[in-house]
Structure formats: C-alpha cells, structure tokens
C-alpha cells in the first residue's frame, strides 16, 4: 500500500467535505490518500442557469478529464451530478452510505406566506425539478434562478428581496450551515441519487478499484441504481424535471418516480414495490409506465422549449 491515492475534488466547501470523507474512510482501511483540487465549469460560471449551460456533467467534466489524463486517481462527486452515461474508461467504484435525501426551504420571515393563497411569494432555485414541483403546489409564486455553491446561495438569499430558497438538506447539513429558519419539504420528491456520494476511478486501475470497494454501501448502491435507471430511461438530466426515490424496508424496495412539465401543470408518477434482491429493471419499468402515460410528449415539449430559448 505504498501508493498515495490522489483524490480529485472541486474546491467548494461541500465538495472538499465529501472528498475528505473518502480520504478518511480510505485511511481507516490503511490506504494513503491526498486531495487534489480541480476547478469545474459549474463553479466558474455562476450566472447562467444550469439548464442553459447544457448541464449534463457540468460539475464532473473537469474531474473526469483529470482522471482520464491521470492527474488524479479518484474523483469524488455528488452522485446526482453524475451523468448516467459515464465517459469511456471511467467507472463508479464506490457509492457511500446515503445521507439526508430531502429538499428543504430556507425562509426569511417565517412560512405563513405558504398558507396565503393570494400572496405572490418569491422563491429562489435553479433546479427545474424543484421549480416544477413548487409551481404545481404554488402556481401563483414567482421563481428566481439561484446559482453558486451552498454558502454563495445562502448569501444571495440574504441580500435579495426573496421570501425563501430551496436547497438539498444534505448540502447544508454536511457542512453545518443549515439555518434554524428552514423546514424540510416532505412533499417534494428528490432528484435521483440525491444525498449520495460516489467515488469514481479508471476502469484499468485495479488498485483503486479494490481500495474503493471497501467503501461501497450495497443498499445505497441498489436504491440509487434504480433511481438513475429511471432517469436514464427517460433520457433526463438537469434539463428535465425528473424526480425519483427508492428505499429498502424489510427486504422490499419501494420506489416512486415522477416527471413534471416545466410549469408543473402536468405531472406523472409511477410507483413500485419489489423484493430488493430483484430490484434490477425496476427503474426502467417505472420509466416505461411514465412514457406510456404521455411522458414522451412532455419531454419533447421541454426539449423544444429549450431549443427556442
């Protein structure tokens, strides 16, 4: 174990927290590791909405290139940022035990406005999934784009004349910056693989594959695998309001997947409950049900709207 594993990471506080977690876990298994910070396009352009950048892989591309070019040995990502089609020569070698899954609302002066049907609230998020689900529940509200890392977004919320902003609970809680003025959105279905961390390496690097295999959490890998299969079958990414969540209880895998139109008016949901040992194909079958309900029409409309924008 003389080799020092070079772990590539973005430079945000959350990304560094995730990479340090992988380093700590590897160290506990007797592997030496060091962090190598890499800038990503998603961190450099903090103005353009994600869905206008051509998002798939926006936060992973720079690390993927560093991995392929052997500048690093391992890349650590939030799994929800990772495209379902990986670059040739790269594999997801370990999916860590999942953290908090839900989204939460960070508000300024309370949440009473949510019960006032006449009030036009101003809510910030750059996620099309969150926007669509929010508009389905609160069609009168105005949505605003919010980019940047977790701390930047919290600062932006404080400085703008908005009522609240939506965040992933995992992002705020992992680095200890979740404000007291926040509430979990139990009704909002998360992004596929939200709350999960993945460590990728080169396909031909058996040393790192063996090292990372010790960190893999089987239950999380099964659940996120089903969610990402649902996403892949619908050909979705950050440019499509697709949500999915799977969990295992008493040996049964319970799955819920959803596709929304951009304005939230149209919403299609598919649910499944299968033995966890027979989970393979569950996401694909649920996605096929969505497409049969007319999901292909919704996806085509979203694609056309993006091309005309």
Residue 1 has pLDDT above 60, yes or no: no
305 falls in which pLDDT band (50, 70, 90)?
confident
Domains of the chain: 4-96+196-216 (3.40.190.10), 103-184 (3.40.190.10), 231-308 (3.30.160.40)
Average pLDDT for residues 255-281, to the nearest whole number? Answer: 97
DSSP secondary structure letters along 194-232? TT-EEEEEETT-HHHHHHHHTT--HHHHHHHHHHHHHHH
List, for residues 68-104, the tens digit of each pLDDT value: 999 999 999 999 989 998 989 999 999 999 999 999 9
147 falls in which pLDDT band (50, 70, 90)?
confident
Taking the CB of residue 24, how many other CB atoms lie within 10 A of it? 10
238 falls in which pLDDT band (50, 70, 90)?
low
Q: What is the pLDDT of residue 44?
A: 44
| Residues with Cβ within 8 Å of residue 11, at least 6 apart in sequence | 37, 38, 39, 43
Regarding pTM above 0.75, the answer is yes
- Answer for the pair 184, 104: CB distance below 8 angstroms, yes or no: yes
Residue 306 has pLDDT above 90, yes or no: no
Query: Which residues are the active-site residues?
Result: 81
List, for residues 157-198, the tens digit of each pLDDT value: 999 999 999 999 999 999 999 999 999 999 999 999 999 999
Q: How far is CA 123 from the centre of its chain?
A: 20
Angle ∠(38,42,47) on CA atoms, nearest 5: 135
List, for residues 23-70, the tens digit of each pLDDT value: 999 999 999 999 999 976 544 444 444 344 334 456 688 899 999 999
Torsion of the alpha carbons at 124, 128, 132 and 138, rounded to the nearest 10: 0
- How much is the mean pLDDT over the chain? 92
Among all chains, which residue has been given the structure tokens 């340090």?
Answer: 20
């Amino acid at each position: 174990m003389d080799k020092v594993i070079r772990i590539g990471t973005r430079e945000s506080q959350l990304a560094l927290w995730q990479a340090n977690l992988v380093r700590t876990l590897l160290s506990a298994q007797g592997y030496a590791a060091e962090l190598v910070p890499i800038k990503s396009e998603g961190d450099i352009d903090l103005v353009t909405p994600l869905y206008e950048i051509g998002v798939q892989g926006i936060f992973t591309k720079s690390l993927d290139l560093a991995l392929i070019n052997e500048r690093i040995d391992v890349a650590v990502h939030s799994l929800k940022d990772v495209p379902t089609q990986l670059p040739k020569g790269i594999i997801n070698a370990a999916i860590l035990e999942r953290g908090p899954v839900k989204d939460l609302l960070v508000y300024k002066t309370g949440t009473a406005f949510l019960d006032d049907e006449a009030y036009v609230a101003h809510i910030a998020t750059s996620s099309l999934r969150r926007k669509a689900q929010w508009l389905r529940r609160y069609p009168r509200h105005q949505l605003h784009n919010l980019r940047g890392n977790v701390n930047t977004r919290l600062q932006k919320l404080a400085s703008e004349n908005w009522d609240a902003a939506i965040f992933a609970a995992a992002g705020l809680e992992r680095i200890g910056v979740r404000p007291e003025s926040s509430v979990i959105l139990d009704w909002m279905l998360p992004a596929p693989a939200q709350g999960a961390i993945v460590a990728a390496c080169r396909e031909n690097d058996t040393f790192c594959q063996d090292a990372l295999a010790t960190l893999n959490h089987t239950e999380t890998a099964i659940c996120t695998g089903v969610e990402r299969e649902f996403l892949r079958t619908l050909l979705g990414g950050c440019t499509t309001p697709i949500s999915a969540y799977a969990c295992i209880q008493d040996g049964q895998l319970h799955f819920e997947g959803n596709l929304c139109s951009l304005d939230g008016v149209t919403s299609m949901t598919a649910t499944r409950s299968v033995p966890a040992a027979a989970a393979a194909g569950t996401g694909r079958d649920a996605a096929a049900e969505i497409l049969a309900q007319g999901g292909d029409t919704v996806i085509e409309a979203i694609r056309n709207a993006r091309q005309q924008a």
